Amino acid sequence: MKTVALVLTVAALTAPAGVARADDWSSPGFNLALTLGEGVYFVDGDVYREQVSFEVVPSFGWSWFRFDLGLMTMFESFQVADTNLGNWNFTFRPGGRVTPPMAPVYFRFAFPLELQRHDFNYGVLFGGGLDIRVIPVLGIMFEINTTLTSELEYGRRGVPLEFRLGVNFHF
């Protein structure tokens, strides 16, 4: 009786996820994410607002792993502590995403290369998010990232926390 209850419980929990197809891993696919973001900087014990940004992320890959090329720009420019963090910039964010099978969550990593007016910044981005499919080709995204950069001495001086919201087109 306990075995039947266990089988029914597992079936009830996995039924909404759908049935995984055998070709999910071998079938490559293209995605295009469009997100708006904002966040906070924690610098030298103080908290500063991060600029509003827009990111376009074309990605290509398979069901578990995708290669990303994030292209992000800031809409604002203002002073953040005594750093160049608040300056307008354009950032390349090449990286990838790891997605567990049949789950709306993903883990993101990237290597941001930030081009500023009179400076250059680089680092490592770690984050995670949700991509909830509304229809088969469209998902709503929510993402939280942090980036360890040379400007903030790789976390010794401060750390940003970035929140992103947008849409993801699945082709």
Q: Which domain holds residue 74?
A: 30-170
Does 142 reside within a domain? yes
pLDDT score, position 154:
79
In a domain? residue 39: yes
CATH number for the domain spanning 132: value is 2.40.160.20
Q: How many domains does the chain have?
A: 1
Q: What angle do CA 147, 149, 153 make, to 5 degrees?
A: 125
Report if residue 10 sits inside a domain: no
pLDDT category at 84 given cuts 50, 70, 90 is low
- pLDDT tens-place string over residues 107-160: 999 999 988 766 788 899 999 999 999 998 999 999 999 999 887 777 788 888
Query: pLDDT at residue 50 above 80?
Result: yes
Name the residue among 164, 107, 111, 161 with its Cα closest to residue 140: 164
pLDDT tens, position by position, 101-114: 888 899 999 999 98
On whether the CB atoms of residues 91 and 84 are closer than 8 A, the answer is: no
Inside any domain, residue 83: yes
